[in-house]
Amino acid sequence: MKRSIRLGILGILGCLVGFTETVSPQAKPLKIRLGVHASIMGAPDVIAIRQGYFKQAGLEVEHRKFFLGKEGRDAMIAGAIDINATAPRRS
Give the pLDDT confidence of 1-60 residue by residue, as tens digits: 555 555 556 566 666 555 555 555 567 889 999 999 888 888 899 999 999 999 999 999
Dihedral of alpha carbons 73, 77, 81, 83, sign: positive
- Write down the pTM of the prediction: 0.63
Instruction: Please give the Cα distance from 2 to 28 (Å, whole number).
Output: 36
Secondary element (H or E) of residue 25 = none
